[in-house]
Structure 1
Amino acid sequence: MKIVRVQDIIGTEREVEGPGWTSRRLLLKKDGMGFSFHETIIPAGAELNLWYKNHLEAVYCVAGNGSITDLATGETHEITDGTLYALDKHDRHVLRGGSEDMRLICSFNPPVTGRETHDEDGSYNLAE
């Protein structure tokens, strides 16, 4: 059994920051669960152009607001507390923070190793 508290991750190597996001990686590839599990904070007003071409991601909003735009269709969907979106087709998208910070709970398959940041096309490389 694993017990992980987000307050114990803040300020450690499992808290990774990039432009417009902070990711607290609660479960990683080395934890052997077959997926990784993160708490991600998107600041109000942030705009991220993302494409997880190597991963599937499910995201559940537990606080704040924002939006996601599917770049293939042009559709924009509002994100608020209680909204889940799943990038089941490696969807290219733009994630925008709204009027307040968003707190998102995310799962990646395959799992990340922990220090990944977005590359030039907005994706993470596959873990070795």
Structure 2
Amino acid sequence: MIVRTLKDCENSPRNIDGGNWKSVRMLLREDNMGFSFHITTIFANTETPIWYQNHLESVYCISGEGEIETVADGKVYPIQPGTLYVLDKHDQHLLRGFSDMQMACVFNPPLIGNEQHNQDGAYELSAEPVTG
């Protein structure tokens, strides 16, 4: 059994600062579950271009408000508590926070832990594992 608290993960190398966001990576590839689980905060008044070419992601909004825009067709979807969006086609998108949004995120394949977005807004598959 794996038991971790958000507080413990926030005070460890699992807490990653991405500039417009911070991601507390509570479950990682090393945990051998086939997915990773994160609590991510998207900061207010930010826009982040993202294109997960190597991962599928589902995101559930716990708190805050914002929107997501799909680049291919320009569709804009509001995000508020209770909203789930799933990037099931490696969708290139713009994520905007109107207020700080706390999100629960699941990635497949799982992240190693220290990934940052590359110039395309993707996570690479070759990062070194985080310990802690």
| Structure 2 equivalent of residue 103 of structure 1 | 102
* TM-score when normalising by structure 2: 0.94
Secondary structure, in 3 states, of the residue corresponding to 2:114? coil
Q: Note if 1:117 corresponds to 2:79.
A: no
Partner amino acid, structure 2, of 1:44? A
State the aligned residue count: 127
| Structure 2 equivalent of residue 17 of structure 1 | 17
Moved over 2 A (4+): none
**Offset of 1:11 from its aligned partner?**
2.8
User: Could you tell me how far apart the structure 1 residues matched to 2:65 and 2:97 are?
Assistant: 6
User: Could you tell me how far apart the structure 2 residues matched to 1:115 and 1:72 are?
Assistant: 29
| Structure 1 equivalent of residue 70 of structure 2 | 70
Contact persistence 1:112–1:127 (CA under 8 A): no
Partner amino acid, structure 1, of 2:89? K
Secondary structure, in 3 states, of the residue corresponding to 1:33? coil
**Offset of 1:46 from its aligned partner?**
1.0
Partner amino acid, structure 1, of 2:102? R
Partner amino acid, structure 1, of 2:108? N
Tell me the alpha carbon deviations over residues 13-47 of structure 1, each in whole angstroms, 9 at most, x when there is no partner.
00001120000000000000000000000111111
* TM-score when normalising by structure 1: 0.97
**Offset of 1:12 from its aligned partner?**
1.2
| Structure 1 equivalent of residue 26 of structure 2 | 26
Greater strand content: 1
Task: Compute the RMSD of aligned alpha carbons.
Answer: 0.9
Give unpaired runs (5+ residues) of structure 2: 128-132
Contact persistence 1:59–1:84 (CA under 8 A): yes
Partner amino acid, structure 2, of 1:33? M
| Structure 2 equivalent of residue 49 of structure 1 | 49
**Offset of 1:127 from its aligned partner?**
4.1
Secondary structure, in 3 states, of the residue corresponding to 1:37? strand
| Structure 1 equivalent of residue 61 of structure 2 | 61
Secondary structure, in 3 states, of the residue corresponding to 2:96? strand
